[in-house]
Amino acid sequence: MTGSSSPAELSAVLGVNIDPDLLTLALTHRSFAYENGGIAHNERLEFLGDSILGQAVTVKLYRDNPELDEGDLAKRRASLVSSVALAEIARLIGLGAFIRLGKGEEQTGGREKPSILADTVEAIIGAAYLDLGGDEATALVLRLVAPLLADPARFGAAMDPKTSLQELAAQIGRGAPDYRIEDSGPDHSKRFHASVCLDDEVIATGVGSSKKQAEMAAALEAWTILQAAAK
C-alpha cells in the first residue's frame, strides 16, 4: 500500500524540493518493493543518508559546543543519530503517512515502527544529497534535528523515555510508573499495547512491535502529558 499523502506534500513539509521520483524511492520500504515485483527500494539511499546525517550533526555539535570534549561530543552525536531520535523527528513531521509499505507491514503498524521511520528519514536525507548536493542536504538535516536541539528536556525524554518519566513522576509527587502489556495478532507478527499507570491511573498508552517499543511509546506520551500539565 502507498502512503496517504503525496511526495509534493512532503517536500512542502521538509522545505526542500527533492525530485519526485527520487523522493518516492526514498519513501519505498522493501516490503512494498517485494510485493510489487522486486522494484527498487530505499535501503541504498538510507545507507547514503546515514553518512550525511552523521557528518552534519558532528560539525554542528563541534561548532556549537566548544566546551565539550571528544567523549561528550560523541555521546551527543550518538543520541541525535539514534533510531529513537530519528523516529521522534519522523513523528514530528508526520512522515508515517507518506511511506510506501507492503500489506504485511501496513497491517502490523509499520507506519509507527521506530526502525521504519528512522530508516526513511535517512533515505530522504540521501535523496536530498543526490538531487540537491551537500549544502542543501546538510541544511535539511539541521532543520530536522532543530526541534530536539531546541528542547533539551524533550530531547532527553525521547532518548530514554522510561527513565525520564520516572524522574518526572517523582518530581511531581506521583508514584513509580507501572506498565501493563497486552498483545494481539499471530505469533509471527504480534503487536504489543502498553498502558502506563501512575497511582493506578492510566496516563497514556503506546503500541509497538515489541514490549520494549510499546512501553517506550507509552512512556514518552505520558511524559509529554505530565510535562505540559506541570508548566
Three cell numbers, residue 220: 514518552
Q: Which residues does the annotation mark as catalytic? A: 50, 122
CA 62 to chain centre: 23
- Ramachandran angles phi, psi of 28, nearest 5°: -95, 105
Count of C-beta atoms within a 10 Å radius of residue 9: 14
Provide the 8-state DSSP code for 133. Answer: -
Q: C-alpha distances in angstroms, 55 versus 11, 48, 58, 87, 131?
A: 22, 11, 5, 19, 18
46 is in an annotated binding site: yes
CA distance 124 to 20: 11
C-alpha cell of residue 116: 521504519
Kindly state the cell numbers that stand for 20.
Answer: 519526485
User: Does the annotation flag 122 for ligand binding?
Assistant: yes
Question: Is 35 marked as a binding-site residue?
Answer: no
- Is residue 129 within 8 A of residue 49, CB to CB? The reply is yes
Cβ count within 10 A of residue 173 = 7
Map residue 39 onto helix, strand or coil: coil
Query: Which residue ranges are tagged as binding site for Mg(2+)?
Result: 46, 119, 122
